[in-house]
Amino acid sequence: MSEQNSREPTSVNSSVSEPATATQRPNASNGEPRQTHRPERDDSPWGQTRRVISARFRALSDSVLKRITQRTLKIGISARIFHPESGAKGLRSKTLQYLEESIAQWVMSRDVLVFMIPTVNANGLLHPSNIRLRDYARHLDGLVLQGGADVSPQTYSQAVTRPEWNGDRARDMYELELLHEFVEAGKPVLGVCRGCQLINVAFGGTLYQDIASDVPAAIKHVSDDLYDSHYHSIRFSSGSSLAALFPAKTEALVNSIHHQAVKNLGRDVVVEAFSGTDQIVEAIRYRKSRFVMGLQWHPEFHRAGSAELLDCTPILDDFLRAARETRF
């Protein structure tokens, strides 16, 4: 037998005939092939059970997330308070809490649920309750402080200069607690007229008790005859969130139904807009929260899409956007 025939046969296809158990990838250090093993599928009863549970958990998580994102927003609105009249009978002899229709309709125009938040009284003799204002802050997505009676000068530690400007101290205490509970819960707050002033006072600011008396050079900010048809122009502060919401506008026309206004700004409160003629503050923002804003005018009295008055829908949408974000 020749030397060639005595050698062991070699097969050029031996690497193909062997079963592949790994893939070869270039080694970044030396260019040699690197063996990378794929994880083997666990087909044991425990492995199959684990895959089923994992799939069901993912499906449940997706379902919960979908319900959270699609759930209708719930917005609370603070109550106006009618105090009993001395010697009156019937409803006028009772404490009434009520909601002005326009503010509710404005908020509901974006298809959200609106709830008036009543005062709470743990010491009630007839019907005591353990419900607190913080419970509303926990379960609702945002708060609107509606307009109404003057903020009492006592609330910002000043003496009343005239009896008719005494304000509603009881409502102040109720709304201040409500405001702080929503801020603590990280929920957005929008204050309208009185609500704007209350936000400033809540963080240590003060007010002009009467613009005409305290700022004689100011324009007229309230008209008994025109009421919500009394208008004046405002200007947005440079770099403010309102300026960002209305990039095509440097000034706008709004209604003016207030005889009080922000005087000294509270802590971490900044001016968002001011009266272009006399520099009276017309909008503020508390910069320590995602959304705590006060508007001195009444956006609910502005028609959406109006060519004359400022369309405040972008403000409402920004407020509701912040409310959605608090769900996560």
Degrees (nearest 5) of the Cα angle 210, 214, 216?
110
> Which one from 221, 258, 300, 312 is the annotated catalytic residue?
300
Among 212, 256, 227, 81, CA closest to 152: 81
The torsion angles phi and psi of 153, rounded to 5 degrees, stand at -55, -30
CA quadruple 125, 81, 163, 281: dihedral, nearest 10: 140
> Which one from 221, 232, 258, 298 is the annotated catalytic residue?
298
Residue 298 designated active-site: yes
Degrees (nearest 5) of the Cα angle 303, 309, 313?
55
Residue 300 designated active-site: yes
3-state secondary structure the chain: CCHHHHCCCCCCCHHHHCCCCCEEEECCCCCCEEEECCCCCCCCHHHHHHHHHHHHHHHHHHHHHHHHHHCCCEEEEECEEECCCCCCCHHHHCCEEECCHHHHHHHHCCCCEEEEECCCCCCCCCCCCCCCHHHHHHHCCEEEECCCCCCCHHHHCCCCCCHHHCCCHHHHHHHHHHHHHHHHCCCCEEEECHHHHHHHHHCCCCEECCHHHHCCCCCCCCCCCCHHHCEEEEEECCCCHHHHHCCCCCEEEEECCCCCEECCCCCCEEEEEEECCCCCEEEEEECCCCCEEEECCCHHHCCCCCCCCCCCHHHHHHHHHHHHHCCC
Residue 40 designated active-site: no
Alpha-carbon gap, residue 199 to 26, rounded angstroms: 65
> Which one from 193, 232, 258, 272 is the annotated catalytic residue?
193
Alpha-carbon gap, residue 162 to 250, rounded angstroms: 37
As annotated, the active-site residues are: 193, 298, 300
